[in-house]
Structure 1
Amino acid sequence: MAMNAVIKKVVAFIMVATRLGKSKLSVSLAPRTGGEIINSNKIQVYRGLDALGNKIPKVEKLGVPHHLLGHVGNPDEEYTAREFGFDATSVIEQIINSGKVPIVRGGSNSFIETLVKDPDFKFKSNYLGCFIWLDVSPNVFNTFVSKQVNQMVNQGLAEEVRGIFALDKDYTKGI
């Protein structure tokens, strides 16, 4: 009697505290695993907002494909965790069908939790999740974040925020 074994494909998740190098770690891991990166940061899904979202510059991507990075047009547009789940599931399938490994670069835990736990996405029945979580001491974290914030300011953070802020906007939607 032959057993019908279901072979699940691996989806890697990089989970690191904010501003501690998830992008660099993901870009470093991708060529070693034949991977492509899926963004799950709530700010980085929006087009523009490069300084505010601290998006990885093209030169630092080192040719590694990045998905769901800047694909939502307007920062006032609502983009929910469920929408992310549908988009991410589609991209995961595209990456797997091309023979590569999906690497979900963390950022917004609500996006990842919805993708993995919502029964509509059938993640647990179709994939094996490999979660890589890195933690650092508070001293290292504070030093690194201070440098990152200074870098973001130097890249035009204040001007970028001024460009999207208006007193008459409805800030209950979008970012």
Structure 2
Amino acid sequence: MNHFFNGNLHKNKVIFILGATGTGKSRLSIDIATRIPSEIINSDKIQIHKGLDIVANKILESEKQGVRHHLLGTIEPDSDFTASDFCNQAVAAVEEILKLGKVPIIVGGSNSYIESLVEEHFVKFKSIYECCFIWLDVALPVLYSFTSKRVDQMVDAGLVDEVRGMFVHNADYSRGIRRAIGAQELDEYFRDEKEMDETTKKHVLESSIQEIKDNTGKLASRQLEKIKQLRDKLKWKIHHIDATSVFQIRLKEEADDDGCGKEVNDAWMKLVMHPCMDILTDFLKENRKIDESLEALLLLKT
């Protein structure tokens, strides 16, 4: 095992990015990974599966900026992938990344996977690795507005036809990729669409899309509560980054049909990236393999 120097502990360092759905975790992970030598490990239990790229909101190839991703779209759609499976494959990916002299960044909204990885005794993760937890947070009312608009964008991008492509009667929505929000909500529409007139079809589809929005909001609430439990009950030292203002600016720009995004990007750098730089500079400062990257990271703030 290739241990980095870390004072008296000699532990490898691993970064975790936590947050509810839609809070910008993927963007943050790419922003970090393009500034320090890193690779990303996906911990979203839906995105782990092949297929439903729109529904699962998987990062586009063009958005990866050349950063290698692990456990993203690698598991067959109908396969059960347990928390234990995740732990085993995530640890293997962590070790592979460390052997390259890079820092693993574990990113995703499935906090039960992350809890199992860090806390399960058979993994002994906390004994081997030093963890930095960054919680990217957006106030729920603002996040609800954003995720609602995002569902509309996903529908425009082909969400309905994507789900139709995997629809089967009497499907089991408790396993595999069919657990994704967007699959079960459209089941009634696909079962009955051939028998419905156009008015009914439109009404049922609109109701299904609204249900997707509602269930996305409920998921965000559950994810938020889980992160608070990790912080308050398990006493994880979690660094809180509030991106609410960034999303408020983004929603306003979209409402005003202003597509330039400069104000959003400036706010992102000031309120998200710069605080993360401070956290990671302190966390990684004794990692001699990335000293030069940290110096470059600090220069970005000047």
Provide TM-score, normalisation by structure 2. 0.54
- Which of residues 144, 149, 153 in structure 1 aligns to 2:155? 153
- Which of residues 88, 98, 101 in structure 2 aligns to 1:96? 98
3-state SS in 1 of match to 2:34: helix
Structure 1 position 116, deviation (Å): 0.6
Unaligned runs of 5+ in 1: none
Aligned length: 170
Partner of 2:24: 21
Structure 1 position 132, deviation (Å): 0.1
- Shift >6 Å, 4+ stretches: none
Structure 1 position 33, deviation (Å): 2.3
Q: After superposition, what is the alpha-carbon deviation per residue over 1:97-144, rounded to whole angstroms, capped at 9, x for unaligned?
A: 110000001220111111111111110110011000022223321222
Assess, with a 3 A threshold, how the Cα gap between structure 1 residues 163 and 65 changes in structure 2: closer, same or farther. same
Higher relative contact order structure (alpha carbons within 8 Å, sequence separation ≥ 6)? 1
Assess, with a 3 A threshold, how the Cα gap between structure 1 residues 100 and 162 changes in structure 2: closer, same or farther. same
Q: How does 1:1-175 map to 2 (within 5 A)?
A: 5-73=8-76, 75-174=77-176, 175=179
Provide TM-score, normalisation by structure 1. 0.92
Unaligned runs of 5+ in 2: 1-7, 180-302
Q: Does structure 2 conserve the Cα–Cα contact (< 8 Å) formed by 1:20 and 1:144? A: no
Q: Which structure is higher in helix share?
A: 2
Structure 1 position 71, deviation (Å): 0.4
Name the amino acid aligned to 1:165.
F
CA distance in 2 between counterparts of 1:100 and 1:48 reads 29
CA distance in 1 between counterparts of 2:174 and 2:150 reads 27
CA distance in 2 between counterparts of 1:139 and 1:16 reads 15
Structure 1 position 26, deviation (Å): 0.5
CA distance in 2 between counterparts of 1:170 and 1:19 reads 26
Structure 1 position 6, deviation (Å): 4.0
Q: After superposition, what is the alpha-carbon deviation per residue over 1:40-65, rounded to whole angstroms, capped at 9, x for unaligned?
A: 01110011110110001000001111
Q: Which structure is higher in strand share?
A: 1
Name the amino acid aligned to 1:69.
L
Q: Does structure 1 conserve the Cα–Cα contact (< 8 Å) formed by 2:45 and 2:110? A: yes
What is the CA RMSD across the aligned residues, in angstroms? 1.3
3-state SS in 2 of match to 1:121: coil
Assess, with a 3 A threshold, how the Cα gap between structure 1 residues 140 and 120 changes in structure 2: closer, same or farther. same
Structure index of larger Rg: 2
Q: Does structure 1 conserve the Cα–Cα contact (< 8 Å) formed by 2:23 and 2:136? A: no
